[in-house]
Structure 1
């Protein structure tokens, strides 16, 4: 197992939508930067035409706050941010697009359209922003691991269980923990040949962070799957993958955020299966055959 690096490798923002990047960073911004970010989200085209002083005045803050927000979003200067906003606004006008949160007045048709639009966007944004090099290194670590611990809670616990079942199906030593006691005790027994994966949308779930801190103290390589790059989970992990997708007032544990996590773990699983093709196919064949005995053959319809 490779030694842990001094700085964690993080999936870097690149081809994802600017809107997704802003929403992911909102929880880590200070109040003045949040006001600026919300103006950018509400009207990208209008914001792209404003000067720095105009944006600062509209947000009730200073130009220096605009500069700090610009850098927090990954841009070298305000001019670069304005160009990205203009490009985002132009992309948004190329076809019909449902945006905005669900309101009490929305019809069921609107609800379905908004949910579908949000989830499709979460998938496309996640595919665009996942760092292939970071993912490839994580796949190598998991293939060579003596033991793989996966930690998650709530909706992220469902994703953790999904990854565990996939890995177990192809014969990898995977274990899933959705409670703090089990997670901590197992993490205490890990070593340098092991990998611990923590899944949390916010990156601030204490149960997951506690287990991951223990895993790191035990010498295991640590992997974070979180939508918030400045979260505690992201900062403590050796390697970080950043799905896209937002949770909102009407949709805590939203499908948009969960489906982005599911896409991320699917990519990890398929990457592992692809690199260990013969082993994977043999395991899938054996497990499929074992399950066949539990399937009831279809009954023939009675003769008339």
Structure 2
């Protein structure tokens, strides 16, 4: 299995979403590439293999796993990605505020690739499944809980009733009772949260359509789901995903998904939003 995302996705986005699932030797190759893209562009397959300590065929297989015809095509894609990158001020001005601005700048530079792993087919399938479902259960645990809550509230305000449960066992029980015609939306950055995976399996066993939003294309969550939207981690590695666990890109996706859902559903969703806005307006105090 190789890259299944968008054809124009840059190499770095492909690497961070696929690296955890590659063979160990291929993973060493792509991690070396990510750490020094400029040198890779100037290196032959044999030179890269010598630097990493693997065989030349491993370098070629790694390039093919990323969705390229071979190593030359990967080098060209890396050169294009580097040419399009905007330089950022890594150091700031030495102040705490300057450091904050520099960090936000770096994050913003990487955020442009956050949606590059998706395809039109997976996005349409995700939105259509939400619209067609008789019942929607949102699954999220750990640091993904706020994402699930946001999705659930936004769907309800758009006239698409959805539910989210906090207890892991309650999630499994509810998921197992979904049945055909229902949809289960699972959030998992790592794609490996045990409670979320257990509930996904329960939903699948019930006959429900399982939708996943995760950071890694070959994660357990992605393998379980009928439709997967992959948002590559902005922090560039599985290790950073576990340490920093940024959910900013996932939150951005959640907001835009519901907006797409409203456009897809038409007047029903717009009317529901109008009712929600009316209720919000009456709840505000001068």
Look at both structures and tell me which one has the larger radius of gyration over its CA atoms. 1
- Work out whether residues 24 and 246 of structure 1, in 8 Å CA contact, stay in contact via their aligned partners in 2: no
Larger RCO (CA within 8 A; separation ≥ 6): 1
- The answer to whether 1:49 aligns with 2:42 is yes
- Work out whether residues 183 and 209 of structure 2, in 8 Å CA contact, stay in contact via their aligned partners in 1: yes
Q: How do 1:53-92 and structure 2 match up within 5 A?
A: 53-92=46-85
TM-score, structure 2 normalization: 0.88
Q: Which residue of 2 aligns with 1:30?
A: 23
Q: Which residue of 1 aligns with 2:174?
A: 186
- Structure 1: tracts of 5 or more residues without a match: 1-9, 298-304
Q: Which residue of 2 aligns with 1:214?
A: 202
- Structure 2: tracts of 5 or more residues without a match: none
> 1: CA distance between counterparts of 2:187 and 2:61?
29
Pair 1:118–1:164, CA change in 2 (3 A)? farther
Pair 1:251–1:115, CA change in 2 (3 A)? farther
> 2: CA distance between counterparts of 1:250 and 1:127?
19
- TM superposition shift of 1:98: 5.2
> 2: CA distance between counterparts of 1:57 and 1:156?
40
- Work out whether residues 202 and 227 of structure 1, in 8 Å CA contact, stay in contact via their aligned partners in 2: yes
> 1: CA distance between counterparts of 2:137 and 2:120?
22
> 1: CA distance between counterparts of 2:26 and 2:99?
30
> 1: CA distance between counterparts of 2:33 and 2:10?
13
TM-score, structure 1 normalization: 0.83
Q: Which residue of 2 aligns with 1:265?
A: 254
Count of matched residue pairs: 280
Task: Provide, for residues 92-116 of structure 1, a one-character-per-residue CA deviation record: whole Å limited to 9, x for no partner.
Answer: 3xx42357xx9xxx86356424431
Q: How do 1:1-304 and structure 2 match up within 5 A?
A: 12-92=5-85, 95-97=86-88, 108-109=96-97, 111-247=99-235, 252=242, 254=244, 257-297=246-286
Task: Provide, for residues 7-53 of structure 1, a one-character-per-residue CA deviation record: whole Å limited to 9, x for no partner.
Answer: xxx96133333212212222223332232122211221211121111
